């Protein structure tokens, strides 16, 4: 090479270096802000600081819903496509179907963000990290966990994948439980991993805790007994509600079928419905204590007033109303104990047109219990047919109106509280509407004594007796309307509603078993035994001695 060519090449190289350095110096002084901004756009991000929802406790502090740390695994397909060869291994590590993961990546190939897995546990994240797949990133979130699973599912409710309340208390107190996420500015590398936190922009506000009135011990007993009853009698469904007489608080609310809120696959279907507040039915003979109370209020009757039910049936217009057999002369107390349709009908025909309706209305039928739980239903309770004799008769023995298990429980709460109508709540403490006296205590106490006779050997609910305790209640066996719009003799609802102890009542319990299919189908043989077993355990757990004395307010 000639000397001049060598000097030319060296000179050009030096000139290029000088020009490059000059350009760098120029950009570093005149375009500094622009370049810094462009760099930040590629590496600095404002991200959310996740917060956990408040804990839901039972009355004794047992957790019913908690938030546990988890991760979400994500990708930036538009910037860093995931290699096809890595997808099967990634799917195996995340424990998701490979076909589904491929579909997600294909659908999101032009997007800057795609979820690969939500609520991933630390073990799954560790497996993915070990694969070292380019384009896969991780961030923290929280996952809701329900320690009592299906036992408290209908009251506590569930959250969705984004931790928003969907059912039960989780839904009605969503704003209170969820809190507010914080914000921070972070520096990320080219693969999307966070290198360090740069600044905290907004402090997180964690969700507030909630304490329910449920007693998990009582809830467990109710759940197990109800489940056993459904299996034993081949029933379609069942519900149980237990209330504290002194406060109106819900101690237990169980339904069958139920569902496991920790299993997303198990959340749908009929098991997700809180039947205790959504499903309505004709209460049948469980409202007869109210008809008897109307008779006492009229001043025309006493517990010893004799009614002639011979010959075991009576006609109201073209409708024939029958008893199982001819009971002959019965006192009003015996009419209730034997659940005589004829006796109650004769009382209804003798009272003023609106007398029984008025008593039922004051007791709480036709009104919302006010728990606030999603789907709370009013049922049907109207005076439109009271101008007809048959309308008054059927209402007196529990047909022509519909109620929910919770409404029936609140009605019996009014009786157990000595004629004081008390609001119902699923929360421990907090503001409640004031009590309201709706019946004279002397009349209600007479009804108590009459209802005790229901559980004697001469009554319809011997199976409701509780060893060592005096209890009071009423059976009900209501026929259901079939597909043809007529009452079907093969479809029944078996009920028992009552309270214990019969003197100084502490708890109210309502049991409803829908469409029992076994050999036993009546309220006295299907629902009453459930009442007996649940009440026996409840009274002992609550420290109620056999004499019936107990603290006025639950601890």
Q: What is the DSSP string of 453-516?
A: GGGSTTSS-GGG-BTTB--EEEEEEEEEE-TTSSEEEEEEEEEEEEEESSSS--EEEEEEEES-
pLDDT at 489: 83
CB hemisphere CA count around 491 (13 angstroms)? 13
pLDDT at 140: 85
- 55 pLDDT band, cuts 50/70/90, is very high
Q: Which of 108, 213, 239, 285 is catalytic?
A: 285
For residues 362 and 376, what is the distance between their CA atoms, to the nearest angstrom?
19
| Residue 185 pLDDT > 80 | no
Listed residue (397, 447, 451, 424) closest to 283, CA to CA: 397
Q: Give the range among 17-31, 133-147, 175-189, 205-219 with minimum mean pLDDT.
A: 17-31
pLDDT at 85: 83
CATH superfamily entry for domain 47-84+115-211: Penicillin-binding protein 2a (Domain 2) (3.90.1310.10)
- 159 pLDDT band, cuts 50/70/90, is very high
Which tens digit of pLDDT belongs to each residue from 134-156? 888 888 888 999 999 999 999 99
8-state DSSP, 53: P
Kind of pairing, strands 136-145 and 114-120? unpaired
Calculate the alpha carbon distances from 5 to 1, 9, 16 in Å: 7, 6, 17
State the DSSP H helix or E strand holding residue 255, giving kind and residue range, or none if neither.
strand 250-256
Highest mean pLDDT among 106-115, 194-203, 461-470 belongs to 461-470
Averaged pLDDT of the chain: 88
| Residue 191 pLDDT > 90 | no
Assign domain 216-541 to a CATH class: alpha beta
Which tens digit of pLDDT belongs to each residue from 237-281? 999 999 999 999 999 999 999 999 998 777 777 788 999 999 999
CB hemisphere CA count around 211 (13 angstroms)? 8
Are 51 and 182 in contact by the 8 Å Cβ rule? The answer is yes
C-alpha dihedral (439, 441, 446, 447), degrees to nearest 10: 40
- 2 pLDDT band, cuts 50/70/90, is low
- 195 pLDDT band, cuts 50/70/90, is low
For residues 543 and 546, what is the distance between their CA atoms, to the nearest angstrom?
10
| Residue 59 pLDDT > 70 | yes
pLDDT at 483: 81
Catalytic (active site) residue 285: yes
Are 508 and 245 in contact by the 8 Å Cβ rule? The answer is yes
pLDDT at 501: 95
pLDDT at 42: 52
Of the two residues 181 and 422, the one the predictor is more confident about is 422
For residues 294 and 301, what is the distance between their CA atoms, to the nearest angstrom?
9
Who contacts 351 (Cβ-Cβ below 8 Å, separation ≥6)? 294, 295, 298, 300, 392
End-to-end CA distance of the chain: 104
- Taking residue 547's Cβ as centre, other Cβ atoms within 10 Å add up to 12
pLDDT at 3: 72
Whether the domain at 47-84+115-211 and the domain at 216-541 fall into the same CATH topology: no
For residues 9 and 12, what is the distance between their CA atoms, to the nearest angstrom?
5
Are 222 and 254 in contact by the 8 Å Cβ rule? The answer is yes
Are 473 and 464 in contact by the 8 Å Cβ rule? The answer is yes
State the DSSP H helix or E strand holding residue 260, giving kind and residue range, or none if neither.
none
pLDDT at 555: 37
Are 245 and 416 in contact by the 8 Å Cβ rule? The answer is yes
Calculate mean pLDDT across residues 156-183: 90
Which tens digit of pLDDT belongs to each residue from 275-299? 999 999 999 999 999 999 999 999 9
Please report the sign of the dihedral spanned by the C-alpha atoms of residue 159, residue 160, residue 163, residue 166: negative
pLDDT at 552: 38
Share of the chain above pLDDT 70, in %: 90
- 193 pLDDT band, cuts 50/70/90, is low
If DSSP codes are grouped into helix, strand and coil, which group holds residue 442? helix
| Residue 171 pLDDT > 90 | yes
Which tens digit of pLDDT belongs to each residue from 439-477? 999 999 999 999 999 999 999 999 999 999 999 999 999
Are 75 and 137 in contact by the 8 Å Cβ rule? The answer is yes
Listed residue (509, 293, 515) closest to 396, CA to CA: 293
Which tens digit of pLDDT belongs to each residue from 18-48? 878 777 776 566 655 554 554 555 566 676 6
Calculate mean pLDDT across residues 229-244: 96
- 554 pLDDT band, cuts 50/70/90, is very low
Domain boundaries in the chain?
47-84+115-211, 216-541
Phi and psi angles of residue 34, each rounded to the nearest 5 degrees, phi first? -65, -45
pLDDT at 431: 61
Q: Please, which residues bridge with residue 333 across strands?
A: none
- 551 pLDDT band, cuts 50/70/90, is very low
Q: For the chain, give the number of residues.
A: 555
Q: Please, which residues bridge with residue 139 across strands?
A: 72
C-alpha dihedral (403, 404, 409, 415), degrees to nearest 10: -10
pLDDT at 553: 39
How is residue 388 written in tokens?
A: 């007809």
Which tens digit of pLDDT belongs to each residue from 385-404? 999 999 999 999 999 999 99
- Taking residue 45's Cβ as centre, other Cβ atoms within 10 Å add up to 15
Listed residue (168, 296, 254, 243) closest to 421, CA to CA: 243
Of the two residues 68 and 194, the one the predictor is more confident about is 68
- Taking residue 25's Cβ as centre, other Cβ atoms within 10 Å add up to 10
Ranges of H-type helices in 299-353: 332-337, 341-350
């Amino acid at each position: 090479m000639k000397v001049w060519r060598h000097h030319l090449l060296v000179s050009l190289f030096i000139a290029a270096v000088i020009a490059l350095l000059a350009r760098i110096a120029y950009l570093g002084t005149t375009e500094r802000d622009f370049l810094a901004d462009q760099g930040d756009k590629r590496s600095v991000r404002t991200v959310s600081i996740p917060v956990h929802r408040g804990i839901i406790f039972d009355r004794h502090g047992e957790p019913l819903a908690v938030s546990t740390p988890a991760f979400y695994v994500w990708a930036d397909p538009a910037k860093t496509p995931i290699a096809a060869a890595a997808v099967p291994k990634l799917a195996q590590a995340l424990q998701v179907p490979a076909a589904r993961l491929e579909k997600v990546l294909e659908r999101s190939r032009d997007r800057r963000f795609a979820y690969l897995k939500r609520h991933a546990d630390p073990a799954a994240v560790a497996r993915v990290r070990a694969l070292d797949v380019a384009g896969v990133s991780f961030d923290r979130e929280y996952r809701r966990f329900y320690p009592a699973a299906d036992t408290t599912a209908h009251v506590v409710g569930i959250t969705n994948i984004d931790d928003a309340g969907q059912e039960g208390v989780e839904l009605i107190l969503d704003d209170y439980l969820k809190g507010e996420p914080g914000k921070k500015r972070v520096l990320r590398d080219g693969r999307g991993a966070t290198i360090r936190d740069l600044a905290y922009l907004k402090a997180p506000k964690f969700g507030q805790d909630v304490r329910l009135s449920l007693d998990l011990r009582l809830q467990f007993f109710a759940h197990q007994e109800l489940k056993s009853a459904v299996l034993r009698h081949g029933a379609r469904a069942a519900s149980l509600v237990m209330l504290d007489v002194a406060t109106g608080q819900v101690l237990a609310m169980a339904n069958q079928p139920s569902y496991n809120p920790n299993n997303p696959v198990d959340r749908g279907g009929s098991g997700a419905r809180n039947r205790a507040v959504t499903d309505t039915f004709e209460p049948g003979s469980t409202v007869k204590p109210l008809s008897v109370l109307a008779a006492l209020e009229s001043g025309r009757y006493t517990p010893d007033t004799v009614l002639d039910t011979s010959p075991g049936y009576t006609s109201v217009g073209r409708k024939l109303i029958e008893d199982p057999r001819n009971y002959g002369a019965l006192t009003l107390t015996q009419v209730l104990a034997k659940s005589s349709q004829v006796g109650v009908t004769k009382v209804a025909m003798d009272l003023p047109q609106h007398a029984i309706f008025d008593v039922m209305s004051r007791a709480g039928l036709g009104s919302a219990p006010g728990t606030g739980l999603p789907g709370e239903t009013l049922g049907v309770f109207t005076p439109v047919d009271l101008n007809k004799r048959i309308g008054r008769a059927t209402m007196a023995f529990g047909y022509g109106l519909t109620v929910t298990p919770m409404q029936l429980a609140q009605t019996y709460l009014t009786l157990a509280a000595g004629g004081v109508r008390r609001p119902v709540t699923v929360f421990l403490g907090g503001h409640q509407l004031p009590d309201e006296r709706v019946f004279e205590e002397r009349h209600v106490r007479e009804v108590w004594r009459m209802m005790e006779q229901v559980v004697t050997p001469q009554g319809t609910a011997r199976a409701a007796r509780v060893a060592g305790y005096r209890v009071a209640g009423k059976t009900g066996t209501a026929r259901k309307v079939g597909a043809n719009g007529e009452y079907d003799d093969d479809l029944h609802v078996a009920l028992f509603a009552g309270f214990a102890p019969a003197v100084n009542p502490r708890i109210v319990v309502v049991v409803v078993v829908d469409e029992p299919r076994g050999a036993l189908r009546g309220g006295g043989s299907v629902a009453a035994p459930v009442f007996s077993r649940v009440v026996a355990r409840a009274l002992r757990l609550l420290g109620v001695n056999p004499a019936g004395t107990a603290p006025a307010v639950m601890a």
